[in-house]
Amino acid sequence: MRKFILSLLAIILPTVVSLAQYSDHRGRNTDSLEVVVAGWTPEKLEAASKEESDRVISAYKDLMWGYLQVNRERSMMFARKALDLSMPRGYWYTAQDAARILGLHFYAQEQWDSATFFYNKGLEIVQKMEDKVTTPYSSKIYEQSSIDDARSAFYGSLGNMYNMMDSIPLAMEYYKKAGEIFEKNGWKESSSILWYNMGETWLEEGNLEEAENCYQTSLKYARESGDSLQISNPLKGLGALYLQQGKTGKALECLEEADKYYSLHEDQEFRYRLETLDLMGKVLKQQKKDQRRLAIVAVSLAVLMLLLMILLRRSFILRRKNKAADEVIGEAIEDLSAKETPAGREEDERPHDLALTDREMEILPLLAQGMTSPKIAEKLYLSLPTIKWYRKKLLIKFEASNTADLIYKAKEKGII
Protein backbone atom coordinates (compact mmCIF):
# COMPACT_ATOMS: atom_id res chain seq x y z
CA MET A 1 0.00 0.00 0.00
CA ARG A 2 2.85 2.41 0.78
CA LYS A 3 4.27 1.96 -2.70
CA PHE A 4 0.81 2.66 -4.09
CA ILE A 5 0.41 5.88 -2.12
CA LEU A 6 3.86 7.23 -2.91
CA SER A 7 3.58 6.51 -6.60
CA LEU A 8 0.21 8.20 -6.85
CA LEU A 9 1.36 11.22 -4.90
CA ALA A 10 4.25 11.63 -7.30
CA ILE A 11 1.76 12.30 -10.09
CA ILE A 12 -1.13 14.05 -8.43
CA LEU A 13 1.13 16.44 -6.57
CA PRO A 14 3.14 17.95 -9.40
CA THR A 15 4.13 20.84 -7.19
CA VAL A 16 6.25 18.42 -5.18
CA VAL A 17 8.01 17.39 -8.35
CA SER A 18 8.51 20.98 -9.40
CA LEU A 19 10.26 21.61 -6.09
CA ALA A 20 12.74 18.79 -6.55
CA GLN A 21 15.47 21.18 -5.50
CA TYR A 22 14.34 20.41 -1.95
CA SER A 23 15.38 16.77 -2.31
CA ASP A 24 18.10 17.46 0.23
CA HIS A 25 15.76 19.86 2.04
CA ARG A 26 18.46 22.51 2.16
CA GLY A 27 18.49 23.55 -1.49
CA ARG A 28 17.06 26.99 -0.75
CA ASN A 29 18.74 27.29 2.64
CA THR A 30 15.75 27.16 5.00
CA ASP A 31 17.75 28.89 7.74
CA SER A 32 18.12 31.98 5.58
CA LEU A 33 14.42 31.88 4.67
CA GLU A 34 13.50 31.76 8.35
CA VAL A 35 15.59 34.90 8.87
CA VAL A 36 13.52 36.59 6.17
CA VAL A 37 10.21 35.88 7.91
CA ALA A 38 11.35 36.11 11.54
CA GLY A 39 10.85 39.83 11.94
CA TRP A 40 7.45 40.07 10.30
CA THR A 41 4.83 40.43 13.00
CA PRO A 42 1.12 40.63 12.08
CA GLU A 43 1.23 44.38 12.61
CA LYS A 44 4.18 44.83 10.26
CA LEU A 45 2.56 42.66 7.65
CA GLU A 46 -0.57 44.80 7.75
CA ALA A 47 1.51 47.83 6.87
CA ALA A 48 3.79 46.03 4.41
CA SER A 49 3.88 46.88 0.73
CA LYS A 50 2.67 44.44 -1.89
CA GLU A 51 6.25 43.54 -2.82
CA GLU A 52 7.11 42.86 0.82
CA SER A 53 3.97 40.73 1.32
CA ASP A 54 4.79 38.77 -1.82
CA ARG A 55 8.28 38.06 -0.53
CA VAL A 56 7.10 36.94 2.91
CA ILE A 57 4.31 34.71 1.57
CA SER A 58 6.71 33.17 -0.94
CA ALA A 59 9.18 32.51 1.89
CA TYR A 60 6.49 30.78 3.97
CA LYS A 61 5.56 28.66 0.96
CA ASP A 62 9.19 27.65 0.38
CA LEU A 63 9.60 26.83 4.06
CA MET A 64 6.52 24.62 4.26
CA TRP A 65 7.79 22.60 1.29
CA GLY A 66 11.39 22.68 2.46
CA TYR A 67 10.54 21.11 5.82
CA LEU A 68 7.97 18.69 4.34
CA GLN A 69 10.06 15.55 4.84
CA VAL A 70 12.49 16.58 7.57
CA ASN A 71 10.41 18.40 10.17
CA ARG A 72 6.67 17.87 10.21
CA GLU A 73 5.96 20.41 12.97
CA ARG A 74 7.81 23.25 11.25
CA SER A 75 6.34 22.37 7.86
CA MET A 76 2.83 22.51 9.33
CA MET A 77 3.59 25.76 11.17
CA PHE A 78 4.74 27.53 8.01
CA ALA A 79 1.87 26.04 6.00
CA ARG A 80 -0.60 27.54 8.49
CA LYS A 81 1.14 30.92 8.28
CA ALA A 82 1.13 30.77 4.48
CA LEU A 83 -2.57 29.89 4.50
CA ASP A 84 -3.46 32.67 6.96
CA LEU A 85 -1.53 35.28 4.98
CA SER A 86 -2.53 34.25 1.47
CA MET A 87 -6.30 33.81 2.00
CA PRO A 88 -7.21 37.45 2.80
CA ARG A 89 -4.78 38.74 0.15
CA GLY A 90 -6.17 36.55 -2.64
CA TYR A 91 -3.06 34.41 -3.12
CA TRP A 92 -5.27 31.48 -4.02
CA TYR A 93 -2.66 29.21 -5.57
CA THR A 94 -0.42 29.56 -2.51
CA ALA A 95 -3.45 29.05 -0.27
CA GLN A 96 -4.45 25.78 -1.95
CA ASP A 97 -0.80 24.67 -1.77
CA ALA A 98 -0.78 25.30 1.97
CA ALA A 99 -4.10 23.50 2.45
CA ARG A 100 -2.70 20.53 0.56
CA ILE A 101 0.43 20.41 2.72
CA LEU A 102 -1.65 20.48 5.90
CA GLY A 103 -3.92 17.76 4.53
CA LEU A 104 -0.91 15.61 3.69
CA HIS A 105 0.53 15.94 7.19
CA PHE A 106 -2.74 15.00 8.86
CA TYR A 107 -3.14 12.17 6.35
CA ALA A 108 0.31 10.85 7.29
CA GLN A 109 -0.77 10.84 10.95
CA GLU A 110 -4.05 9.11 10.02
CA GLN A 111 -6.04 12.02 11.41
CA TRP A 112 -8.70 11.59 8.76
CA ASP A 113 -11.12 14.29 9.92
CA SER A 114 -8.46 17.00 9.86
CA ALA A 115 -7.09 15.76 6.54
CA THR A 116 -10.59 15.83 5.04
CA PHE A 117 -11.14 19.36 6.34
CA PHE A 118 -8.04 20.75 4.63
CA TYR A 119 -8.54 18.80 1.41
CA ASN A 120 -12.09 20.15 1.12
CA LYS A 121 -10.86 23.61 2.04
CA GLY A 122 -8.35 23.29 -0.76
CA LEU A 123 -11.15 22.42 -3.20
CA GLU A 124 -13.07 25.52 -2.06
CA ILE A 125 -9.97 27.63 -2.73
CA VAL A 126 -9.56 26.05 -6.18
CA GLN A 127 -13.16 27.03 -6.89
CA LYS A 128 -12.27 30.64 -6.10
CA MET A 129 -9.47 30.39 -8.66
CA GLU A 130 -12.05 29.30 -11.21
CA ASP A 131 -14.32 32.24 -10.48
CA LYS A 132 -12.35 34.35 -12.99
CA VAL A 133 -10.40 36.18 -10.31
CA THR A 134 -7.06 37.67 -11.25
CA THR A 135 -3.78 36.49 -9.80
CA PRO A 136 -2.07 38.75 -7.24
CA TYR A 137 0.92 39.03 -9.55
CA SER A 138 -0.86 40.28 -12.66
CA SER A 139 -4.22 41.24 -14.11
CA LYS A 140 -4.56 37.81 -15.75
CA ILE A 141 -6.96 35.21 -14.49
CA TYR A 142 -5.74 31.82 -13.39
CA GLU A 143 -5.09 29.44 -16.27
CA GLN A 144 -7.52 26.56 -16.50
CA SER A 145 -4.68 24.04 -16.64
CA SER A 146 -3.38 25.32 -13.28
CA ILE A 147 -6.87 25.06 -11.83
CA ASP A 148 -7.31 21.54 -13.17
CA ASP A 149 -3.89 20.55 -11.88
CA ALA A 150 -4.74 21.74 -8.37
CA ARG A 151 -8.22 20.23 -8.33
CA SER A 152 -7.03 16.82 -9.56
CA ALA A 153 -4.38 16.84 -6.83
CA PHE A 154 -7.06 17.20 -4.14
CA TYR A 155 -9.25 14.55 -5.73
CA GLY A 156 -6.27 12.22 -5.77
CA SER A 157 -5.43 13.02 -2.15
CA LEU A 158 -9.00 12.33 -1.06
CA GLY A 159 -8.91 9.10 -3.05
CA ASN A 160 -5.72 8.08 -1.22
CA MET A 161 -7.24 8.86 2.12
CA TYR A 162 -10.41 6.84 1.55
CA ASN A 163 -8.26 4.06 0.17
CA MET A 164 -6.30 3.95 3.42
CA MET A 165 -9.59 3.95 5.31
CA ASP A 166 -10.73 0.94 3.21
CA SER A 167 -13.61 2.98 1.82
CA ILE A 168 -12.88 1.68 -1.67
CA PRO A 169 -16.06 2.94 -3.42
CA LEU A 170 -15.37 6.50 -2.20
CA ALA A 171 -11.70 6.20 -3.13
CA MET A 172 -12.63 5.13 -6.65
CA GLU A 173 -15.12 7.95 -6.94
CA TYR A 174 -12.42 10.56 -6.29
CA TYR A 175 -9.84 8.76 -8.42
CA LYS A 176 -12.25 8.82 -11.34
CA LYS A 177 -12.88 12.53 -10.83
CA ALA A 178 -9.15 13.10 -11.09
CA GLY A 179 -9.09 10.83 -14.13
CA GLU A 180 -11.76 12.90 -15.87
CA ILE A 181 -9.58 15.98 -15.47
CA PHE A 182 -6.54 14.13 -16.82
CA GLU A 183 -8.60 12.93 -19.78
CA LYS A 184 -9.93 16.40 -20.52
CA ASN A 185 -6.43 17.85 -20.62
CA GLY A 186 -4.90 14.93 -22.48
CA TRP A 187 -2.51 14.14 -19.62
CA LYS A 188 -1.84 10.59 -20.79
CA GLU A 189 0.97 9.79 -18.37
CA SER A 190 -1.00 11.02 -15.37
CA SER A 191 -4.02 8.99 -16.55
CA SER A 192 -1.85 5.90 -16.90
CA ILE A 193 -0.45 6.18 -13.38
CA LEU A 194 -3.87 6.88 -11.91
CA TRP A 195 -5.46 3.82 -13.55
CA TYR A 196 -2.44 1.69 -12.65
CA ASN A 197 -2.86 2.56 -8.97
CA MET A 198 -6.58 1.86 -9.19
CA GLY A 199 -5.62 -1.55 -10.56
CA GLU A 200 -3.25 -2.09 -7.63
CA THR A 201 -6.12 -1.29 -5.24
CA TRP A 202 -8.52 -3.73 -6.87
CA LEU A 203 -5.80 -6.39 -6.94
CA GLU A 204 -5.32 -6.01 -3.18
CA GLU A 205 -9.09 -6.20 -2.76
CA GLY A 206 -9.17 -9.44 -4.73
CA ASN A 207 -11.40 -8.04 -7.50
CA LEU A 208 -9.37 -9.39 -10.40
CA GLU A 209 -11.86 -8.37 -13.07
CA GLU A 210 -11.79 -4.69 -12.07
CA ALA A 211 -8.03 -4.86 -11.59
CA GLU A 212 -7.53 -6.16 -15.13
CA ASN A 213 -9.78 -3.45 -16.59
CA CYS A 214 -7.78 -0.76 -14.77
CA TYR A 215 -4.41 -2.21 -15.80
CA GLN A 216 -5.51 -2.43 -19.43
CA THR A 217 -6.74 1.18 -19.35
CA SER A 218 -3.45 2.24 -17.77
CA LEU A 219 -1.52 0.40 -20.47
CA LYS A 220 -3.55 2.10 -23.19
CA TYR A 221 -2.74 5.58 -21.83
CA ALA A 222 0.89 4.62 -21.27
CA ARG A 223 1.32 3.49 -24.87
CA GLU A 224 -0.35 6.67 -26.08
CA SER A 225 2.02 8.75 -23.95
CA GLY A 226 5.05 6.96 -25.38
CA ASP A 227 6.67 6.80 -21.93
CA SER A 228 8.53 3.48 -21.97
CA LEU A 229 8.97 3.51 -18.20
CA GLN A 230 5.29 4.03 -17.58
CA ILE A 231 4.36 1.24 -20.00
CA SER A 232 6.19 -1.23 -17.79
CA ASN A 233 4.06 -0.54 -14.68
CA PRO A 234 0.67 -1.84 -15.92
CA LEU A 235 2.47 -4.72 -17.65
CA LYS A 236 3.95 -5.70 -14.29
CA GLY A 237 0.50 -5.37 -12.71
CA LEU A 238 -1.05 -7.59 -15.38
CA GLY A 239 1.72 -10.13 -14.83
CA ALA A 240 0.92 -10.30 -11.11
CA LEU A 241 -2.79 -10.55 -11.86
CA TYR A 242 -2.45 -13.34 -14.41
CA LEU A 243 -0.20 -15.20 -12.00
CA GLN A 244 -3.00 -15.13 -9.42
CA GLN A 245 -5.42 -16.41 -12.06
CA GLY A 246 -3.06 -19.25 -12.94
CA LYS A 247 -2.54 -17.93 -16.49
CA THR A 248 1.20 -18.37 -16.33
CA GLY A 249 1.76 -18.06 -20.07
CA LYS A 250 0.11 -14.63 -20.25
CA ALA A 251 1.79 -13.59 -16.99
CA LEU A 252 5.26 -14.42 -18.30
CA GLU A 253 4.57 -12.61 -21.57
CA CYS A 254 3.57 -9.39 -19.73
CA LEU A 255 6.46 -9.59 -17.26
CA GLU A 256 9.05 -10.15 -19.96
CA GLU A 257 7.80 -7.08 -21.82
CA ALA A 258 7.77 -5.07 -18.57
CA ASP A 259 11.35 -6.09 -17.83
CA LYS A 260 12.38 -5.02 -21.32
CA TYR A 261 11.14 -1.49 -20.56
CA TYR A 262 12.47 -1.45 -16.98
CA SER A 263 15.91 -2.42 -18.25
CA LEU A 264 15.97 0.85 -20.22
CA HIS A 265 15.58 2.78 -16.95
CA GLU A 266 17.42 0.53 -14.52
CA ASP A 267 19.08 3.50 -12.83
CA GLN A 268 15.64 4.97 -12.05
CA GLU A 269 13.47 1.96 -11.28
CA PHE A 270 15.89 -0.74 -10.18
CA ARG A 271 13.56 -1.81 -7.36
CA TYR A 272 10.60 -2.23 -9.72
CA ARG A 273 12.75 -4.30 -12.05
CA LEU A 274 13.70 -6.54 -9.14
CA GLU A 275 10.00 -6.95 -8.33
CA THR A 276 9.35 -7.89 -11.95
CA LEU A 277 12.15 -10.44 -11.98
CA ASP A 278 10.88 -11.87 -8.70
CA LEU A 279 7.40 -12.24 -10.22
CA MET A 280 8.93 -13.94 -13.28
CA GLY A 281 10.64 -16.40 -10.96
CA LYS A 282 7.31 -17.16 -9.28
CA VAL A 283 5.67 -17.67 -12.67
CA LEU A 284 8.37 -20.11 -13.77
CA LYS A 285 8.11 -21.95 -10.45
CA GLN A 286 4.33 -22.16 -10.88
CA GLN A 287 4.74 -23.44 -14.43
CA LYS A 288 6.99 -26.24 -13.16
CA LYS A 289 4.38 -27.13 -10.54
CA ASP A 290 1.69 -27.09 -13.21
CA GLN A 291 3.77 -29.33 -15.45
CA ARG A 292 4.30 -31.81 -12.62
CA ARG A 293 0.61 -31.67 -11.81
CA LEU A 294 -0.30 -32.25 -15.46
CA ALA A 295 2.11 -35.18 -15.64
CA ILE A 296 0.51 -36.71 -12.54
CA VAL A 297 -2.96 -36.14 -14.00
CA ALA A 298 -1.90 -37.68 -17.32
CA VAL A 299 -0.49 -40.77 -15.60
CA SER A 300 -3.58 -41.03 -13.42
CA LEU A 301 -5.84 -40.81 -16.48
CA ALA A 302 -3.79 -43.46 -18.26
CA VAL A 303 -4.09 -45.79 -15.27
CA LEU A 304 -7.82 -45.11 -15.04
CA MET A 305 -8.24 -45.81 -18.76
CA LEU A 306 -6.35 -49.08 -18.38
CA LEU A 307 -8.48 -50.10 -15.42
CA LEU A 308 -11.60 -49.13 -17.33
CA MET A 309 -10.53 -51.22 -20.31
CA ILE A 310 -9.86 -54.19 -18.01
CA LEU A 311 -13.26 -53.77 -16.37
CA LEU A 312 -15.00 -53.47 -19.73
CA ARG A 313 -13.22 -56.59 -21.02
CA ARG A 314 -14.18 -58.53 -17.90
CA SER A 315 -17.73 -57.27 -18.19
CA PHE A 316 -17.84 -58.34 -21.83
CA ILE A 317 -16.49 -61.81 -20.98
CA LEU A 318 -18.95 -62.15 -18.12
CA ARG A 319 -21.86 -61.19 -20.37
CA ARG A 320 -20.69 -63.71 -22.97
CA LYS A 321 -20.42 -66.44 -20.36
CA ASN A 322 -23.82 -65.60 -18.91
CA LYS A 323 -25.36 -65.63 -22.37
CA ALA A 324 -23.72 -68.97 -23.14
CA ALA A 325 -24.90 -70.40 -19.84
CA ASP A 326 -28.45 -69.28 -20.65
CA GLU A 327 -28.16 -70.99 -24.03
CA VAL A 328 -26.91 -74.19 -22.44
CA ILE A 329 -29.70 -74.18 -19.88
CA GLY A 330 -32.27 -73.48 -22.59
CA GLU A 331 -31.01 -76.25 -24.80
CA ALA A 332 -30.88 -78.63 -21.87
CA ILE A 333 -34.50 -77.85 -21.05
CA GLU A 334 -35.49 -78.40 -24.67
CA ASP A 335 -33.64 -81.72 -24.73
CA LEU A 336 -35.32 -82.87 -21.56
CA SER A 337 -38.72 -81.87 -22.87
CA ALA A 338 -38.13 -83.75 -26.13
CA LYS A 339 -37.21 -86.94 -24.29
CA GLU A 340 -40.35 -87.04 -22.14
CA THR A 341 -43.31 -89.16 -23.28
CA PRO A 342 -46.86 -87.87 -22.85
CA ALA A 343 -47.17 -90.14 -19.85
CA GLY A 344 -44.09 -88.60 -18.33
CA ARG A 345 -41.78 -91.54 -19.05
CA GLU A 346 -38.53 -91.12 -20.94
CA GLU A 347 -38.21 -92.77 -24.30
CA ASP A 348 -34.99 -94.27 -25.59
CA GLU A 349 -32.64 -91.65 -26.82
CA ARG A 350 -33.34 -90.74 -30.47
CA PRO A 351 -30.83 -89.46 -32.96
CA HIS A 352 -30.74 -85.67 -32.92
CA ASP A 353 -31.66 -83.46 -35.83
CA LEU A 354 -28.56 -81.97 -37.42
CA ALA A 355 -30.01 -78.45 -37.27
CA LEU A 356 -27.12 -76.66 -35.52
CA THR A 357 -27.40 -73.63 -33.26
CA ASP A 358 -25.38 -70.46 -33.86
CA ARG A 359 -23.08 -71.35 -31.00
CA GLU A 360 -22.49 -74.84 -32.37
CA MET A 361 -21.73 -73.37 -35.79
CA GLU A 362 -19.25 -71.06 -34.04
CA ILE A 363 -17.49 -73.89 -32.19
CA LEU A 364 -17.45 -76.57 -34.92
CA PRO A 365 -14.94 -74.79 -37.25
CA LEU A 366 -12.61 -74.19 -34.32
CA LEU A 367 -12.67 -77.91 -33.51
CA ALA A 368 -11.89 -78.59 -37.16
CA GLN A 369 -8.85 -76.30 -36.81
CA GLY A 370 -7.56 -78.59 -34.06
CA MET A 371 -8.15 -76.16 -31.19
CA THR A 372 -8.52 -77.63 -27.74
CA SER A 373 -11.49 -76.88 -25.53
CA PRO A 374 -9.48 -74.49 -23.27
CA LYS A 375 -8.25 -72.55 -26.33
CA ILE A 376 -11.75 -72.31 -27.74
CA ALA A 377 -13.04 -71.09 -24.36
CA GLU A 378 -10.34 -68.41 -24.27
CA LYS A 379 -11.00 -67.29 -27.82
CA LEU A 380 -14.78 -67.08 -27.45
CA TYR A 381 -14.67 -65.70 -23.89
CA LEU A 382 -16.72 -68.66 -22.66
CA SER A 383 -16.22 -71.00 -19.75
CA LEU A 384 -14.54 -74.38 -20.27
CA PRO A 385 -17.62 -76.36 -19.05
CA THR A 386 -19.72 -74.51 -21.65
CA ILE A 387 -17.35 -75.54 -24.46
CA LYS A 388 -17.33 -79.14 -23.22
CA TRP A 389 -21.15 -79.09 -23.18
CA TYR A 390 -21.34 -77.98 -26.80
CA ARG A 391 -18.64 -80.42 -27.83
CA LYS A 392 -20.66 -83.26 -26.34
CA LYS A 393 -23.81 -81.94 -28.07
CA LEU A 394 -22.04 -81.96 -31.42
CA LEU A 395 -20.83 -85.53 -30.93
CA ILE A 396 -24.38 -86.61 -30.17
CA LYS A 397 -25.92 -84.75 -33.13
CA PHE A 398 -23.44 -86.21 -35.57
CA GLU A 399 -23.49 -89.62 -33.84
CA ALA A 400 -19.70 -89.34 -33.76
CA SER A 401 -17.50 -91.41 -31.48
CA ASN A 402 -14.77 -88.78 -31.15
CA THR A 403 -13.69 -85.38 -32.39
CA ALA A 404 -11.97 -86.74 -35.50
CA ASP A 405 -15.13 -88.65 -36.43
CA LEU A 406 -17.14 -85.48 -35.75
CA ILE A 407 -15.02 -83.40 -38.11
CA TYR A 408 -15.10 -86.09 -40.80
CA LYS A 409 -18.93 -86.31 -40.72
CA ALA A 410 -19.32 -82.51 -40.66
CA LYS A 411 -17.14 -82.20 -43.76
CA GLU A 412 -18.99 -85.06 -45.39
CA LYS A 413 -22.28 -83.28 -44.91
CA GLY A 414 -20.75 -80.02 -46.24
CA ILE A 415 -21.23 -78.14 -42.99
CA ILE A 416 -17.56 -77.15 -42.75
What would the DSSP string read from start to end of 319-350?
HHHHHHHHHHHHHHHHHHHHHB-TTSPBPPPP
Q: What is the pLDDT of residues 283-341, one digit of tens each?
A: 989 888 888 888 899 888 999 998 999 988 888 888 877 777 777 776 666 666 555 54
- Phi/psi zone of residue 381: left (φ > 0), alpha (ψ -120 to 50 degrees), beta? left
Task: Report, as an integer, the average pLDDT of 354-361.
Answer: 86
Q: Could you give the CA distance from residue 168 to residue 60 in angstroms, rounded to a whole number? A: 35
Q: Could you give the CA distance from residue 405 to residue 385 in angstroms, rounded to a whole number? A: 21
Residue 336 has a pLDDT of 63
Pick the CATH number of 2-286 from 2.60.120.10, 1.25.40.10, 2.60.120.620, 3.40.50.970: 1.25.40.10
Across the strands, what pairs with 134? Answer: 141
DSSP three-state, residue 134: strand
Confidence of residue 58 (pLDDT cuts 50, 70, 90): confident
Q: What is the pTM of this model?
A: 0.62
In this predicted structure, which of 28-42, 218-232, 239-253, 379-393 has the lowest mean pLDDT? 28-42
Q: What is the pLDDT of residues 13-54, one digit of tens each?
A: 433 333 333 333 334 455 666 766 777 777 787 777 888 888
Q: Which residues contact 266 (CB under 8 A, 6 or more apart)?
A: 273
Asked whether residue 346 carries a pLDDT value surpassing 50, the answer given is no
Q: What is the CATH number of domain 358-412?
A: 1.10.10.10
DSSP summary character for residue 402: S
C-alpha gyration radius of the chain: 46
Residue 163 has a pLDDT of 93
Residue 345 has a pLDDT of 41
CA distances from 395 to 346, 358, 375, 398, 407 (A): 21, 16, 19, 5, 9
Asked whether residue 126 carries a pLDDT value surpassing 90, the answer given is yes
User: Where in the chain are the domains?
Assistant: 2-286, 358-412
Residue 14 has a pLDDT of 39
